[in-house]
Chain A
Amino acid sequence: MIAKPPGGNARSIQDILGGAFLVAIAALALFLVNHLPATGRVGFASGTAPRLFAYGLMALGAWILVAGIFKEGPGLGRFNWRGLATILGSVLVFAIGIRVVGLALIGVPMVMLASLADQHFKAEESLYFGIGMTAFCGLLFPTVLGQPIPLWPPFLDMTPGQPTAYIVYAIAAVMVLGMVLYVGRQLMQGRKGN
């Protein structure tokens, strides 16, 4: 079950770093609650519980760290940097874009950026998949379920009857049509392939 550490270390790198990580979190918490009273009228105040938990976490983290120095254990293993960057990046893109340009415009870039996390990234497939997902979610969440998610860019006047509305709907329709054609073509090819 336990993977051999890459360098064959006699120490548990995982535990040393893990313990240090917890100690750091606890230290940060203690620093942040420093201004709160530690004890109150009945021995309890706003700062009591956080301190209690932070001291506990710090002690446990230190214990894990020290124990890790004296025992053999697994190393860190490889980190999936590409996945981390693209997945977290795509989520951040969504967070930044959702209010600025709306769901309709943020969907495709988000899905495409996320898809890049996979080694077998296919740009065309990902593009049409993004369009499909955006169309589906755009219909489901703001339209059918009536959730207050900004769908269209706020700077566009989307009141029915406005020329911009017609143009935007037309563009969206063309994109969805393109996606349908793409899926149709893939299915045809798939059938031939079998």
Chain B
Amino acid sequence: MELLTNLAHGFAVAVTPTNILLCLIGALVGTLIGVLPGIGPIATIAMLLPITYKLDPTGALIMLAGIYYGAQYGGSTTAILVNLPGESSSVVTAIDGHQMAKKGRAGAALAIAAIGSFIAGTFGTILVAALGRPLTAVAQAFGPADYFSLMVLGLVCAIVLASGSVLKAIAMIFLGLLLSTVGTDLETGEQRMTFGFLPLADGIEFVTLAMGMFGFAEILRNLENTESRDLVQQKVTNLMPTRDDLKEAAPAVARGTVLGSVLGILPGGGAVLAAFGAYTLEKKLSKTPQEFGKGAIRGVAGPESANNAAAQTSFIPLLTLGIPPNAVMAVMVGAMTIHGIVPGPQIMTKQPDLFWGLIASMWIGNLMLVIINLPLVGLWVRLLRVPYRMLFPAILFFCAIGVYSINNQPFDVVLTAFFGLTGYLLIKLGFEPAPMLVAFVLGKIMEEKLRQAMLLSRGDPWTFVDFGRHPISTVLIVISVALLALAVTPALRKKRNEVFVEE
């Protein structure tokens, strides 16, 4: 009952005209960037941060959250209609979705994707609301050592779930941690790795790193793939799926929702992994796996439900524990920090408006997305006619203005260009920058908690595995070590590669 009261409170916050409008803007922008390949939610949220300065924090987060789940809807539209996944989370949707479209069943595919997403979004939202309080209570029992160990577990999960080489993923984690220590030491005030340079004294601005590594480096990489986009102009008729379609898709939606919700909560997970996982699961469970790749409706329903469920539930660790489970949530931490909010368990007690308002807005946003997406399909597809040669200078210009206006500091813009270059190099050298970003965000909190824990234990490094004193921490460390050991065993590595190379 308490849950209902809280949700009612949340809806009261979310349905104010301003917040409804912001939610709509977020959902629309999300759909837009979901449709457009070459720009993802990370760069967009970072880019729009300055626009939110004048808003109150609740409104700002409602809008930014809308961008993330809106992108999951938009990405599927182009994946189905033009075989061009606008987001990496809809790569698998394109496999069967586009085949359905070729057979003249684009309407059914789009509708199933939207319905599945909506059901998953609803479930995800309820899960966030339900798990909010218990997890917050757990988080309040955490001491510094437990927190530190939890973040270690988070980083280990990010390593296990990252695609590609485990070794390289660990290296990226360490690079992110190292970069997070640049700036003034919090305790002693000493300058660390700043080259004696004043603008670096506050540390590396998160947005410059995210925008450089994800925004600029992405553009450079996109310019190399000079594939032309051939638009298959298809009339989308008959949006209603048949009864058989619904019957066929329903179990896939349910499985995708559950799988996506779980993978969303896990650190290192998120929408992309959820979609891949759901596709593999559907194919494994299907009695007719040969149908997959030729227009199986379950191949659309499963991943689309999963990616949207994960987009919702990835807010759980952020809102309750203050730990971003993936790179997009890491950007959300940046957004919260700019608005003076410290992510973590205290949000629920100190800012109930924000917590419940955000959750309620997610459901409203999902509803809006179903409504705006299906009838407006033609408009979104037409957007793809905007050539990339106009798109990327516009993105760059927005990014530059956005980065400049964080601190009104031209140096930040230069730093972004530098990180763009570094990001491009890292991609060329086969490194994946996403784990680095998560580690960068966690790094500052980790060092702080590590120091506190060491202070409390009078410098005993074994305090983290002292079961008598810190049982939570000990268990978390044991799980981390076990997971890491599993990740390097050949059998699991093979499995992991299968999931990611599924095409």
CB of B142 closer than 8 Å to a CB of A: no
**Would you call A117 and B392 a contact (CB within 8 A)?**
yes
Contacts A15-B430, A18-B168, A114-B393; is A91 near B447 (CB within 8 Å)? no
**How many residues of chain A have a CB within 8 Å of chain B?**
74
A105 close to B (CB within 8 Å): no
A158 is an interface residue with CB less than 8 A from chain B: no
Interchain CB contact under 8 A, B175 and A57: yes
Does B479 sit at the interface, judged by CB under 8 A?
Answer: no
* Known interface pairs A14-B430, A145-B54; A118-B192 also in contact (CB < 8 Å): no
In the complex the two chains form, is B401's CB within 8 Å of A64's CB?
A: no
- Indicate which residue in A17, A49, A110 contacts B447 across the interface (CB closer than 8 Å): A49
Cβ B397 vs Cβ A110 within 8 A:
yes
Inter-subunit contact A53/B393 (CB<8 Å):
no
A-B contact count (CB 8 A): 196
Does chain B have a CB within 8 A of A5?
Answer: no
CB-CB under 8 A from A87, the residues of chain B are: 216, 219-220, 223, 392, 396, 420
B461 within 8 A of A: yes
Chain B positions within 8 Å of A117 at CB level? 219, 223, 392
Chief secondary structure at chain A's binding surface:
helix
CA distance A188 to B226 in the complex (A): 28
Whether A155 is near chain B, meaning CB under 8 Å from some CB there, is: no
Q: Which residues of A contact B404 (CB under 8 A)?
A: 94-95, 98, 149
- Contact call B193/A44, Cβ cutoff below 8 A: no
Residue in A36, A56, A78, A126 whose beta carbon sits within 8 Å of that of B174 in the complex: A56
Closest CB in chain B relative to A40 CB, distance in Å: 9
The answer, yes or no, to whether B109 is at the interface (CB within 8 Å) is no
Residue B376 CB within 8 A of the other chain: no
B178 touching A45, Cβ below 8 Å: no
* A64 nearest CB neighbor, chain B only: B167
User: In the complex, what distance in Å separates the CA atom of A137 from the CA atom of B50?
Assistant: 13
| Residues of B in contact with A (beta carbons under 8 Å apart) | 50-51, 53-54, 167-168, 170-171, 174-175, 177-178, 181, 185, 187-188, 190, 192-193, 195, 216, 219-220, 223-224, 226, 388-390, 392-394, 396-401, 404-405, 408, 410-411, 413-414, 416-417, 420-421, 424-426, 428-431, 443, 447, 450-451, 454-455, 457-459, 461, 501
